[in-house]
């Protein structure tokens, strides 16, 4: 039996027409270079399965890029937890050079990859943090905290919400079971004083099926009580209400 993990990477797939409509023209070449990294070093280092290469654009890069529809129009800070190969964090850093993006990942081989890609693409808006989300609790807050297939909603809330500023928001990429997860973990949402989650479909006409995101903010920004999420001077969120998003 052939060990596909040791096969020569097949090379990046052709850029689909949809990518030209999603990425700003001046950023498309960066998205293409990032996809080439995924198809080559991403496969060699075990971050991407070789069978995923033909569908890197549709299943991974574009799937993450359309999350931008749920992000603020103005400049913002973003933390991507469990960033892995940079999905969605690096994709969003390419999409939004006005955003300051922190990629959080505990595994060295992944943080090495993230650092190399960010430097190669000249993404000066990216900071790579080797560690876990809990490491930043109490030290930093963000306007947006993202994740992709990291954990069930209850654990994801406990890891992410301490990093969400009083006027910030969790934007988690989820699958078709998003509504069921929200119902299952309603008690955790209430305990953490979260507002009612919003399930949003993004990427119409770009990806099929559309990308599902779950957006969670604080029920009362003045009553944020989790460690690291209290309102204080120097917060990266809280100068104004940033909860207006593209719908």
- What are the residues whose beta carbons fall under 8 Å from the beta carbon of 146, sequence distance 6 or more? 67, 78, 79, 80, 81, 88, 89, 92, 170, 171, 172, 173
Consult the annotation and say whether 231 binds a ligand: no
Which fold is adopted by the domain 21-223?
A: Rossmann fold (3.40.50)
Consult the annotation and say whether 148 binds a ligand: yes
pLDDT band at 9 (very low <50, low <70, confident <90, very high): low
Consult the annotation and say whether 136 binds a ligand: no
pLDDT band at 175 (very low <50, low <70, confident <90, very high): confident
Domain ranges of the chain: 21-223
What is the pLDDT at residue 227? Answer: 52
Instruction: State the pTM of this model.
Output: 0.87
Q: Report the 10 Å Cβ neighbour count for 219.
A: 14
Consult the annotation and say whether 122 binds a ligand: no
């Amino acid at each position: 039996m052939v060990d596909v993990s040791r096969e020569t990477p097949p090379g990046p797939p052709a850029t689909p027409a949809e990518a030209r409509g999603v990425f700003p023209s001046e950023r498309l070449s960066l998205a293409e270079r990032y996809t080439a990294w995924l198809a080559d070093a991403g496969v060699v280092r075990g971050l991407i399965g070789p069978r995923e290469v033909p569908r890197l654009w549709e299943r991974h890069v574009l799937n993450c890029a359309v999350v931008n529809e749920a992000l603020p129009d103005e400049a913002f800070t973003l933390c991507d937890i469990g960033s892995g190969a940079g999905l969605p964090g690096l994709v969003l850093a390419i999409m939004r050079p006005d955003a300051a993006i922190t990629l959080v990942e505990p595994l060295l081989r992944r943080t090495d990859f993230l650092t190399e890609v960010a430097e190669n693409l000249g993404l000066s808006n990216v900071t790579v943090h080797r560690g876990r989300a809990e490491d930043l609790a109490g030290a930093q807050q963000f306007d947006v905290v993202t994740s992709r297939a990291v954990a069930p909603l209850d654990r994801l809330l406990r890891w992410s919400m301490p990093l969400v500023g009083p006027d910030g928001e969790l934007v988690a990429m989820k699958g078709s079971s998003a509504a069921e997860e929200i119902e299952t973990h309603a008690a955790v949402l209430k305990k953490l004083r979260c507002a009612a989650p919003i399930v949003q479909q993004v990427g119409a006409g770009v990806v099929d099926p559309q990308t599902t995101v779950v957006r969670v903010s604080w029920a009362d920004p003045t009553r944020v009580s989790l460690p690291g999420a209290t309102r204080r001077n120097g917060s990266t969120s809280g100068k104004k209400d940033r909860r207006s998003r593209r719908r």
